[in-house]
Amino acid sequence: MNPSFLMTKRQFLSYFSKLYDLNEEQSLYLKIHGKRFEVILNWLKNKNFDSILDVGPSFLSELLFKKFGNKLSLMGFDTEESLGGHLANADILTKANFIKQDLNFLDAKAIHQKFDLIVCAEVIEHLYTSPKKLFQNFYDVLNPNGYLIIQTPNAVSLRKRLSLLFGKNPYEIPRENLKNPGHFREYTARELKQLAKQIGFKAEKLILDEYFEYPSLTSKIYRTFKNISPPNLRSGITIILYKAES
């Protein structure tokens, strides 16, 4: 195993800052999302897979490449459309096998390979297509005994419930840019488990955590008291699904 893969949030913040000249948007993205990266990396640290698909290129893609090398494939938009706050540099899109695909129109029949692991982190909330169709396509391109990791915001987190209580809509209006439209639909942990079960997945692990580290005082308060709040009120969902061998 590549020991550099086993990094904490502080370590890979330093790693990316030295590797790239990050702009303000990229630095903020890493600070907010670093802890959710750790959740995935910690689960993967003692595991190995022969074929991995990371859906939606991001800083996480580069960390996965450090562990898996050319076993990693990426799926997303063209290079220019992938760059921005989520991704600092296009190099990763040439190092790993890149599959150009709009997830709203994913068809498993067009993917001419199978994977042992699919990572779909902070993507499904950006899609307007049926999540059931997406789960089915992922299931079809997974090898038997393969895993699917889904990360997505919790639609019924305490933050959002309080916003609604005070008359504020916690969800932004969809943007005009179809390549970066914002969130069309967020999900609950129960919905994700039900969708997975309908398709045939087994839920191996569910992690509900307050791992989005926004710089606001309100966010810090939520994180400080997360251990005494009910898990289903936390803002982040990570669900690890398993395709049992038939």
Note the pLDDT tens digit of each residue in 98-137: 999 988 999 898 898 999 999 999 999 999 999 999 999 9
- Give the three-class secondary structure for 242: strand
C-alpha span between 207 and 192 (Å, rounded): 12
Question: pLDDT per residue over 189-204, tens digit each?
Answer: 999 999 999 999 999 9
pLDDT tier at 3, thresholds 50, 70, 90 = very low
9 vs 152, residue with greater confidence: 152
11 vs 7, residue with greater confidence: 11
Mean pLDDT of the chain: 90
* 152 contacts: CB under 8 Å, gap ≥ 6: 122, 123, 124, 125, 186, 187, 192, 237
pTM: 0.93
User: What is the model's pLDDT at position 2?
Assistant: 52
* 21 contacts: CB under 8 Å, gap ≥ 6: none
Most confident of 17-31, 58-72, 139-153: 139-153
Total count of domains within the chain: 1
User: Inter-axis angle of helices 131-141 and 189-199, to 10 degrees?
Assistant: 50
pLDDT tier at 1, thresholds 50, 70, 90 = very low
Q: Which domain holds residue 105?
A: 3-242
Q: Which CATH number covers residue 162?
A: 3.40.50.150
User: What is the model's pLDDT at position 124?
Assistant: 95
Q: How far separated are the first and last CA of the chain, in Å rounded?
A: 30
